[in-house]
């Protein structure tokens, strides 16, 4: 089991940055900043009335951000994986499929939807959080936290 | 003649550049938010979900911070007639009702998220410098998304 330290202030500040980026997306492009929606619409079939220009730039920005952080602060970004490679691949497929079938993920439903007081997003968020807590708990008791 | 041609191109090109620069900047702010908040570390996400393990409640503060600025911000922005760089708002309007069709998808997403500690945003911040597993994650996530797009089409 990997211990991580409780970081309320850093997490709050990071959360504010995430909220600000969601607001800027709505202000400039009139769209929801949902990563699963943005990334999945880069794939075929082509989405009608969807401008891909800013979304490609957005995705590049997200990918580059940790490198910029590393360059600016001189410290690496901590990333500790919690599953074996095969479980990572299975989980990744569910993350992709589920976020598309569920019309959104943590950013689209969890941040933007809840901020807009959307009942639809609230029901999706309660569902994915509930299943996630349950899954993590099952992994804890059946596999000691690692599969 | 070449002058008028240049002029007719000038505005769209500058708007396009602005679109790209602002899109990149928003992506950087979002990505830095994921890094600073700890969302980009799968162990931190899993420890938030793993209440009976080494529980780390930090991620509640990420959600709290984002929604604290999001609620008043969206309220103000949605009073505008149009966005700054596009012609109209394309925000969902079907928000008042629970949509049962999306709940199985949300459940599948929650399952994958808990298995790996990674959702789509952090999948992108992990992409550079974390080896083949991180690249494989994005590849499998894209495959899942593609299957989802085809099912929905």
A69 touches chain B (CB under 8 A): yes
- State the pLDDT at residue A18: 98
- State the pLDDT at residue A2: 85
Tell me: do B115 and B72 sit in the same domain. no
Residue stretches of chain A with pLDDT short of 50? none
- State the pLDDT at residue B119: 98
Tell me: do B41 and B82 sit in the same domain. yes
Asked if A13's CB is within 8 angstroms of B37's CB, the reply is: yes
Tell me: do B56 and B77 sit in the same domain. yes
Tell me: do B86 and B129 sit in the same domain. no
- Quick one: tokens of B1? 């003649």
User: What is the C-alpha separation between A54 and B55, in angstroms, rounded?
Assistant: 37
- State the pLDDT at residue A53: 86
Residue stretches of chain B with pLDDT short of 50? 1-10
Tell me: do B87 and B133 sit in the same domain. no
End-of-domain residue from the set B66, B91, B116: B91
- State the pLDDT at residue B59: 97
A10 touches chain B (CB under 8 A): yes
- State the pLDDT at residue A52: 80
If you search the block for the tokens 């689209």, which residue do you land on?
A: A108
A45 touches chain B (CB under 8 A): yes
Cα A104 versus chain centre, distance: 9
User: What is the C-alpha separation between A68 and A4, in angstroms, rounded?
Assistant: 23
Tell me: do B14 and B71 sit in the same domain. yes
Q: Is 0.85 exceeded by the ipTM?
A: yes
Tell me: do B139 and B153 sit in the same domain. yes
End-of-domain residue from the set B91, B113, B139: B91
Q: What is the residue range of B69's domain?
A: 1-91
Angle at A66 (CA atoms; ends A63, A71), nearest 5 degrees: 125
Asked if A116's CB is within 8 angstroms of B74's CB, the reply is: yes
Asked if A14's CB is within 8 angstroms of B149's CB, the reply is: no
Among the partner-chain residues B46, B66, B106, the one whose CB lies closest to the CB of A136 is B46
Which chain B residues are closer than 8 Å to A49 by Cβ? 90
Which chain B residues are closer than 8 Å to A108 by Cβ? none
What are the Cα distances from residue A128, in Å, to A109, B60, B63? 10, 15, 14
- State the pLDDT at residue B8: 42
- State the pLDDT at residue A47: 77
- Quick one: tokens of B49? 């979900």
Tell me: do B103 and B34 sit in the same domain. no
User: What is the C-alpha separation between A96 and A101, in angstroms, rounded?
Assistant: 9
């Amino acid at each position: 089991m990997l211990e991580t330290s409780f970081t309320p202030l850093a997490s709050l500040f990071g959360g504010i940055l995430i909220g600000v980026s969601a607001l800027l997306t709505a202000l400039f492009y009139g769209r929801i900043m949902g990563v699963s929606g943005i990334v999945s619409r880069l794939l075929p079939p082509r989405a009608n009335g969807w401008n891909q220009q800013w979304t490609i730039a957005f995705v590049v920005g997200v990918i580059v951000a940790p490198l910029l952080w590393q360059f600016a602060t001189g410290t690496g970004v901590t990333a500790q994986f919690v599953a074996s490679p095969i479980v990572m691949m299975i989980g990744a497929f569910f993350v992709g499929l589920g976020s598309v079938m569920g019309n959104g993920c943590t950013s689209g439903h969890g941040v933007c939807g809840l901020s807009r007081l959307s009942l639809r997003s609230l029901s999706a968020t309660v569902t994915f959080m509930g299943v996630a807590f349950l899954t993590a708990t099952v992994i804890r008791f059946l596999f000691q936290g690692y599969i | 003649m070449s002058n008028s041609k240049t002029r007719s191109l000038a505005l769209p090109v500058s708007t396009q550049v602005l679109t790209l620069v602002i899109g990149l900047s928003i992506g950087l702010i979002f990505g830095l938010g994921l890094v600073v908040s700890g969302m980009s570390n799968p162990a931190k996400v899993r420890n938030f979900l793993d209440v009976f393990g080494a529980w780390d409640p930090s991620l509640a503060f990420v959600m709290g911070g984002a929604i604290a600025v999001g609620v008043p911000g969206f309220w103000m922005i949605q009073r505008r007639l149009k966005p700054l760089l596009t012609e109209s708002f394309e925000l969902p309007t079907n928000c008042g009702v629970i949509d049962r069709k999306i709940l199985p998808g949300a459940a599948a997403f929650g399952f994958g998220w808990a298995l790996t500690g990674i959702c789509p945003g952090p999948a992108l911040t992990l992409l550079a410098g974390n080896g083949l597993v991180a690249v494989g994650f994005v590849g499998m996530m894209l495959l899942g998304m593609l299957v989802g797009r085809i099912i929905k089409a």
